[in-house]
């Protein structure tokens, strides 16, 4: 596997166990080792860059954030790709949120993330992800901003019943890795798009890539990468499309996979 030149990692449930503050010392050292060999290490996450606070001392070569809607250089500031939710969709979403009981998170490209209200589903996710502080405010306060991602809480059944995607967000699609909420991104943006942006930026080829993930929002990039690796704790649907299933995130999953493919 000496032809692998780029590794793409989801964070939560892949590099970092849920609830943990950072990757293990073993993972940090191993990824530093592969970088010294000239292999690029990229993050590919559903988190906005302002929410990435659980990587510790891990050094990377770039960030695919907001499930591919916002890609940045390693400096966390230089934007190399941005795909925003259509403004008409956002106008309808603001009107929808004003009369709905559904908690909605809006994620502008420049941060300033807000949530319109909280319930027990939001509390569960905040605890699971150790989410940073999010200001509570009506969605109307971000009208006119460039929004790269939304989050809608509640069951899939509730979202379907509300008409969220067939009446409100006509230019968007949902991706989910948890039953309590879904990420909402503009159509045509997912982590695989982010992979292509990073490859073009660094002069690399798709055949030189390996991607790691555990959730439904990772499936696009696992299919797209030359080698897609599912964590042992991944959802069954994720494992079913992966090229290889490693051990769980808290059982040396990343290290075991890299060793299996001869990268260590």
The helix/strand/coil state of 245 is: strand
CA atoms within 13 A of residue 174's CA, in its CB half-sphere: 21
Residue 242 has pLDDT above 80, yes or no: yes
Residue 1 has pLDDT above 70, yes or no: no
The domain locations on the chain are 6-82+189-260, 87-186
Q: Does domain 87-186 have CATH number 3.30.1240.10?
A: yes
What CA dihedral angle connects 150, 135, 71 and 247, to 10 degrees?
-80
Structure tokens at 64: 């695919």
CB neighbours of 230 closer than 8 A, spacing ≥ 6? Answer: 213, 214, 222, 238, 239, 241, 242, 244, 245, 246
Higher pLDDT, 35 or 110: 35
pLDDT digits (tens, 9 = 90+) for 79-104: 999 999 999 999 999 999 999 999 99
Q: How far, in Å, CA of 58 to CA of 240, rounded?
A: 29
CATH architecture of 6-82+189-260: 3-Layer(aba) Sandwich (3.40)
pLDDT digits (tens, 9 = 90+) for 39-76: 999 999 999 999 999 999 999 999 999 999 999 999 99
Instruction: Name the pLDDT band for 126 (thresholds 50, 70, 90).
Output: confident
Residue 21 has pLDDT above 60, yes or no: yes
Nearest CA among 255, 179, 241, 260 for reference residue 14: 255
Q: How far, in Å, CA of 183 to CA of 215, rounded?
A: 12
**β-bridge mates for residue 42, sequence order:** 8
Q: How far, in Å, CA of 140 to CA of 190, rounded?
A: 26
pLDDT mean across residues, the chain: 94
The pLDDT, as a whole number, for residue 152 is: 93
Q: Give whole-number Cα distances, 148 to 48, 67, 92, 107, 200, in Å.
A: 9, 9, 16, 6, 21
The radius of gyration of the chain from alpha carbons, rounded to an integer in Å, stands at 18
Structure tokens at 95: 């009107």
The pLDDT, as a whole number, for residue 19 is: 81
Residue 159 has pLDDT above 90, yes or no: no
pLDDT digits (tens, 9 = 90+) for 222-232: 999 999 999 99
């Amino acid at each position: 596997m000496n032809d692998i030149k780029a590794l793409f990692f989801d964070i939560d449930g892949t590099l970092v166990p849920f609830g943990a503050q950072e990757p293990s010392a073993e993972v940090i050292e191993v990824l530093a080792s592969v970088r010294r060999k000239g292999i690029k290490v990229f993050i590919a996450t559903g988190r906005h860059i302002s929410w990435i606070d659980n990587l510790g001392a891990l050094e990377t070569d770039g960030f695919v954030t907001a499930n591919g809607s916002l890609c940045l250089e390693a400096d966390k500031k230089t934007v190399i790709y941005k795909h925003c939710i259509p403004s008409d969709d956002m106008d309808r979403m603001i009107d929808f949120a004003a009369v709905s009981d559904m908690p909605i998170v809006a994620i502008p490209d420049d941060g300033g993330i807000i949530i319109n209200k909280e319930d027990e589903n939001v509390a569960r996710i905040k605890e699971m992800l150790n989410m940073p502080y999010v200001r509570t405010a009506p969605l109307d306060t971000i009208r006119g901003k460039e929004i790269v991602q939304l989050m809608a809480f509640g069951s899939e059944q509730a979202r379907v019943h509300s008409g969220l995607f067939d009446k409100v967000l006509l230019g968007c699609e949902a991706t989910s890795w948890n039953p309590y909420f879904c990420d909402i991104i503009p159509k045509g943006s997912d982590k695989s798009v982010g992979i292509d942006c990073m490859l073009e930026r660094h002069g690399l080829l798709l055949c030189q890539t390996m991607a790691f993930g555990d959730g439904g929002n990772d499936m696009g990039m696992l299919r797209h990468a030359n080698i897609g690796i599912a964590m042992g704790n991944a959802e069954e649907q994720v494992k079913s499309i992966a090229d290889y299933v490693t051990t769980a995130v808290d059982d040396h999953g990343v290290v075991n996979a890299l060793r299996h493919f001869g990268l260590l």
